[in-house]
Homo-oligomer: A and B are copies of this chain.
Amino acid sequence: MARWQPDARSRLQEAALTLYGERGYDETTVAEIAERAGLTKRTFFRYFADKREVLFWGSELLEQQMVAAIEAAPASASTVSLLQAALDAAAVRFEEVREYAGLRQRIIASSPELQERELIKGASLAAGMAQALRARGLGETAAALAARTGTTVMHVAFEQWIGDPQRRSFAQIARDALAQLREITSA
């Protein structure tokens, strides 16, 4: 087997998601994932710490890019438009993995351990966004409220997006959800 594998990470992710979906997450081993991808266990561990991390790879990048979008917005941007910018950045990441997003969500819903991990990633994202908002001058309470509002819209829009019969873009669904939240809270 060649030392260098073109796109080994994607092949491992695809193999893992397929096996988790077919057999269940708990029942799948790293050896089976590697075999399905036509790679070795050693290669698997070059890319992922364990079989759980296959499902959460990319969450640091998601947080970085949402934070970067908040940092890059014009000084005059309102808090809502900062959240919008962060959601637009999330949309780019999500559209890249659209094909597997629904399957990934079902796998996570099947395991309390994975659900806990997902909640922790969500809390980390809200904390990262709150920090970026404070760096732009928001007070602690305003930053915490706004960051959690951003992750609320992201999570609710994500659930809609993976089951959307019209296959609208995540960006569009998130825009609509943010508008709906604004309507609810203004009434």
Contacts and interface: CB of A to CB of B under 8 A. Distances in A.
- How extensive is the interface on chain A, given as a class? 20 to 34
Interface string A116-139: 100110110000000000000000
A8 interface: no
Contacts of A187: 78-80
A115 B155 CA distance: 20
Given A119-B119, A141-B177, 14 more contacts: A78-B187, A80-B184, A116-B119, A116-B120, A141-B156, A144-B159, A145-B152, A145-B156, A145-B177, A145-B181, A145-B184, A148-B148, A148-B156, A149-B181
Interface of A: 78-80, 115-116, 119-120, 122-123, 141-142, 144-146, 148-149, 152-153, 155-156, 159-160, 177, 180-182, 184-187
B120 A180 contact: no
